[in-house]
Amino acid sequence: MRKNKFMKEFEGELKSIFPNKLIEKSKNNDFDNFFLVLGLIFNDFKDIILFNELIHETYLKPKLDGSEPPSVHLGHWGGIQNHLNRLMVGLISEFLIFLDKNKKTINSISFKLFVKNLPHDVRQDWNKIQNVLQDSDSKDFLSKIAEIRSNVTFHYDQSLTQLRIGFIEKFITSTKNNYNKQAFYSLGNTIQTTRFYYSDGAAEEYVKKEMKYLSNENYNKEMRELVDKTNTTIRFMMEHYLKQKIKK
């Protein structure tokens, strides 16, 4: 592998475990299957977080207070951030659906004993995540993020109507400013120099509309904090799970 002095390598300590301690071919164990999926969920969250960090480390962060005039750089930055926010919403939705569909495993004696032996703060965070599924006040939240996931993140089957609504709100009915007086795009000779910023704007406006019930406009920050909290909790649960498996 060739690299220059400016290229990084991923860091960490490489460990291993015999595969049949995790999954037995002759025994279908929902408890172990649950943690296999939980590991993938952690990885998917981590990739979004990592990519966001790389963007911040590599590209100059523009002013996001509306003071900068429209530009290619601002459009790319905002579009990528909008995409990452939608991916976060989609993954949170998928994670909660996964938990809801696996209540039998979560409510099993073996799983409850596992949670009981977690460190106190990890156990509390896990219970908070569980409460999202139980709390009636959270039903609107779950409904909205599911709609965002289905319409403008992982599926596009309903996007013809929903993205159109976002576009009209962004560029036609909203108060005019420097960013919505025109529908901006870049059409270059490469992928790197091409982007349709007005599509990003329509998606962003759609998400804002769906999330408007929040108490403030800072839902992107709140969603990222939720992702960080969820992934930290999963990380410690996976560590505890693997320690148990290594002992066997």
- For residues 133-153, give the mean pLDDT: 65
Residue 19 lies in a domain: no
Q: What is the pLDDT of residues 73-123, one digit of tens each?
A: 999 999 999 898 888 888 888 898 899 899 999 999 999 999 999 999 999
Say what the pTM is: 0.85
Look at residue 215 in the predicted model and tell me its pLDDT.
44
**Helix ranges, 71-218 (H):** 72-101, 103-106, 109-116, 120-134, 139-152, 159-168, 197-210
Give DSSP secondary structure letters for 194-231. -B-HHHHHHHHHHHHHHTTTSSSS-HHHHHHHHHHHHH
The pLDDT > 70 percentage for the chain reads 85
Look at residue 217 in the predicted model and tell me its pLDDT.
54
The pLDDT > 90 percentage for the chain reads 56
Mean pLDDT of the chain: 86
- For residues 194-221, give the mean pLDDT: 77
Look at residue 210 in the predicted model and tell me its pLDDT.
76
- Number of domains making up the chain: 1
Residue 12 lies in a domain: no
CA distance 109 to 44: 28
Q: What is the pLDDT of residues 25-80, one digit of tens each?
A: 999 999 999 999 999 999 999 999 999 999 999 999 998 788 889 999 999 999 99
- For residues 134-144, give the mean pLDDT: 61
Residue 1 lies in a domain: no
Q: Bin 66: left if φ > 0, else alpha if -120 < ψ < 50, else beta.
A: left
Residue 17 lies in a domain: no
Look at residue 214 in the predicted model and tell me its pLDDT.
46
Residue 14 lies in a domain: no
Contact 237, 38 (CB under 8 A): yes
Residue 135 lies in a domain: yes
Contact 158, 147 (CB under 8 A): no
DSSP H or E run through 54: helix 30-58
Residue 24 lies in a domain: no
Q: Phi, psi at residue 186, to the nearest 5°? A: -125, 125
Residue 213 lies in a domain: yes
Domain that holds residue 148: 29-247
171: closest CA among 163, 161, 182, 160?
A: 182
